[in-house]
Chain A
Amino acid sequence: MSTSRSTAELRTPKFTETVGLIAGREVTTRLRSKAFLISTGILMLAVLASVVLGGIFGGKSDPAKVAVVGTAATAVEGNPALEAVPVDDRAAGEALLRDGEVDAIIVPEASDPTGLQVIGLDRAPGGVVQALSAQPGVELLDPATVDPLLAYFIAFGFGIVFFMSAITFGSTIAQSVVEEKQTRIIEILLSTVSARELLTGKVIGNSVLAFGQIIAIAVLALVGLLATGQRVLLGVLGSSVIWFVVFFAIGFVMLAALFAASAALVSRAEDVGSVTSPVTMLVMIPYFAVVFFFDNPTILTVMSYIPFSAPVGMPVRIFLGQAEWWEPVLSLLVLVATTLGALAIGDRVYRNSLLRTGTRVKLAEALRG
């Protein structure tokens, strides 16, 4: 009798213990894989590079150095965009200009209404002229909060991170399901644990990995923004990154269940690609849609509520300031409900297909059982 065998060394494991063991194996197997470590490293580098490059190109430039002659110095004094280099006369200023030490020379000029003249080398030093100009105050009735180019990069960033992580870990879980079928260890496993324990362990193990990678990317991006002094961007981006992580965590569980269930329909590693292609499509479409339609509020709004594109669509809308406070909450509820549905269907298909080897199991049969 199994019950009488209970000792300190041997007892009937709980559901959570079994799931923990299975999830643990998934995680350690992946962490030992060189391919996984290398691809994660590349993704991390790409994120870091884009943050740092953004800092270089998007950040404010240093004040322009100008040579000032005589009383012109007073005009430059206190101007944050200009750094004055006092010189004795125009000739000394020209020498500095030709050496590239300064961007322009400012000399007093009585005949000019401003009392100044700006001398450039080969073209008009627009920045310096602008810094000297008096400008009226500006008020925008409907300000565009975000530079369109920046918006494009942010949309592209969310899209590619979601796409890469979902595809990487989705195909990992699919491969791991088929490996067990192909090597027939599934018979040993199923004589020990239930199909539900196995599926739950796999989904949790791979979700933990995917989630860990997303957290690492988010932290890297935020720390990178801080380190490169892009505090302004951080303030706008911060909340959308946090929402992205939340949406991804739930959205990936949904995708993992669908990847696992579709992979369970086949018995050979070669067939994984074709059988999971519908799910792969569900991951790719939001990626392309957000890249092409990031500036179309209507399409973006629709995307932010469809469970498969919400993890990309909603954070982009939050970043662009298009979403009301309740919108991410509502979209998240839709996503959670869809995920529960996907888990129920996935569990059924997985359980009914696991021991059927040979030809591909028809989806309708797997659902019927």
Chain B
Amino acid sequence: MLELQHLGKRFGERVALDDVSFRVAPGRLTGFVGGNGAGKTTTMRIVLGVLGADTGTVTLDGHPLGTADRRSFGYMPEERGLYPKMRVLEQTVYLARLHGWSPAAARRNAEELLDRLGLAERHDDPVESLSLGNQQRAQIAAALVHRPEVLVLDEPFSGLDPIAVETVQSVLSDAADSGARVLFSSHQLDIVERICDDLVIIAGGRIRAAGSGDELRAEHGSERWELLTDGDAGWVRELPGIVVTDFDGGWARFEADSDAARRAVLAEALRRGEVAGFTREHTTLAQIFKEVVQ
């Protein structure tokens, strides 16, 4: 378990992080979501040790992080960085070796990963000659080549086409399945919602919500329900304790002031005819995000 406890950071007068605490569990993909300047990058840089926190600690399995631990970290910084003139494979091998892999194993890891990321044909090309999308893949290879136990990726999906997004997603899922703790930030809320097990939402340097997708929906999701019947659903608004917010033929969305009032809607619908659907309204991550950051 990677655990951030009460992190605080100021840049001059500006408070960048204020009491930031959350956990990244092994075997799960944790999405880190927040607007521009919310504190994502600062948090990630503190976890990686490239920036010091004013207060608070980061622990791994209960002990404070040291240099030796960080060697087993993989990092993809917000501002992409590789040696532009160095060849893709050579560079990936070099980074694996800096982490302590033997020459042969470093090469094997690098080749496997580059091939999987679709860079098999580009091993001997200098990084600067790759397209932006391919540079992004090379950057992901650089973060993963040493089989990290903790992966911290700042916007790994930005600039990737949908196929590449799926490739990267499967690489990250595999890393998580083999026990890595994976934390990544993204602005693409639909991707985060689709692939993440856990979510952390930050705004203004404070954590606004954290937990699994289901937990967040239970806490911040909609209180509204949706009914779909084969007949006209106009009758719903006549029931006591019910406020209909949207209505269209056999479909209605409503808020109920009690569980009993809600059950009464279902009972009445069944009495009147066929019920095609009766569910709590699906809340997208975007909706939850908007709600918690306000």
* Contact between chains at A193 and B98 (CB < 8 Å): yes
- B198 interface residue (CB < 8 Å to A): no
Establish whether residues B71 and A192, one from each chain, have CB atoms under 8 Å apart when the complex forms.
yes
A12 x B71 contact (CB < 8 A): yes
B115 at the interface (CB under 8 A from A): no
C-alpha gap A257/B272 in the complex (Å): 86
Cβ–Cβ < 8 Å partners of A355 in chain B: 50-51
CB distance from A30 to the nearest CB of B (A): 11
**Considering only CB atoms and an 8 Å cut-off, how many residues of chain B contact the other chain?**
39
Number of A-B contacts (CB under 8 A): 85
- How far, in angstroms, from A18 to B97 measured CA to CA in the complex? 9
B61 and A9 within 8 A (CB): no
Per the bound structure, the CA–CA distance linking A18 and B76 in Å amounts to: 21
Q: Looking at the complex, which one of B51, B69, B75, B94 makes contact with A25 (CB distance below 8 Å)?
A: B94
B1-9, B99-107, B158-166, B215-223 - the one binding chain A: B99-107
Is A185 an interface residue when CB atoms closer than 8 A count as contact? yes
Report B-chain residues with C-beta under 8 Å of the C-beta of A186.
81
Separation of A12 and B76 alpha carbons in the complex (Å):
21
Known: A2-B68, A5-B72, A25-B94. A192 touches B99 (CB 8 A): yes
By beta carbon, the residue of chain A nearest B127 is: A183
Instruction: Tell whether B235 is near chain A: CB-to-CB under 8 Å.
Output: no
Produce 1/0 per residue, A150-183, CB < 8 A to B.
Answer: 0000000000000000000000000000011001
The verdict on A184 contacting chain B, using a C-beta distance below 8 Å, is yes
Contact of A183 among B50, B70, B82 (CB under 8 A): B82
Cβ-based interface call for B292 (8 A)? no
- Residues on A with beta carbons closer than 8 Å to the beta carbon of B105: 9-10
The answer to whether A111 has its CB under 8 Å from any CB of chain B is no
Q: Which residues of A contact B102 (CB under 8 A)?
A: 8-10
Contacts known (A21-B97, A184-B77, A355-B50); A191 close to B70, Cβ less than 8 A: yes
Query: Is A11 an interface position by the 8 A CB rule?
Result: yes
Do residues B79 and A187 form an inter-chain contact, with CB atoms below 8 A?
yes
How many residues from A make CB contacts under 8 Å with B? 30
The reply to whether the CB of A41 lies closer than 8 angstroms to some CB of chain B is no
Question: Within residues 3 to 27 of chain A, which ones have a CB less than 8 A from any CB in chain B?
Answer: 3, 5, 8-13, 18, 21-22, 25
* B142 within 8 A of partner (CB): yes
Please, which residues of chain A bring their CB within 8 A of the CB of B45?
A: 187
State whether the Cβ of B239 lies closer than 8 Å to any Cβ in chain A. Answer: no
Q: Which of A8, A13, A187, A192 contacts B77 (CB 8 A)?
A: A187
**CA separation between A10 and B99, bound complex, in Å?**
8
How far, in whole Å, are A160 and B147 apart by their CA atoms in the complex? 50
Q: Could you tell me if B77 and A183 are in contact, using CB atoms closer than 8 angstroms?
A: no
CB distance from B115 to the nearest CB of A (A): 19
Chain A residue nearest to B139 (CB atoms) is A188
* Cβ-based interface call for A298 (8 A): no
* Interface presence of B73 (CB below 8 A): yes
Contact of B81 among A5, A22, A29, A188 (CB under 8 A): A188
Q: Which residues of A contact B (CB under 8 A)?
A: 1-3, 5, 8-13, 18, 21-22, 25, 29, 179-180, 183-194, 355
Known: A9-B101, A188-B95. 4 other contacts (CB 8 A): A21-B97, A191-B73, A191-B75, A194-B67
Closest A-B pairs by Cβ, 5 of them: A184-B81, A185-B81, A9-B105, A184-B79, A187-B77
Task: Please list 23 pairs of residues, one from A and one from B, whose beta carbons are closer than 8 Å in the complex, sorted by A's number.
Answer: A2-B69, A2-B71, A5-B72, A9-B104, A9-B105, A10-B100, A12-B71, A21-B94, A183-B81, A183-B82, A183-B83, A183-B84, A186-B81, A187-B45, A187-B48, A188-B81, A188-B95, A190-B50, A191-B48, A191-B70, A191-B75, A192-B71, A355-B50
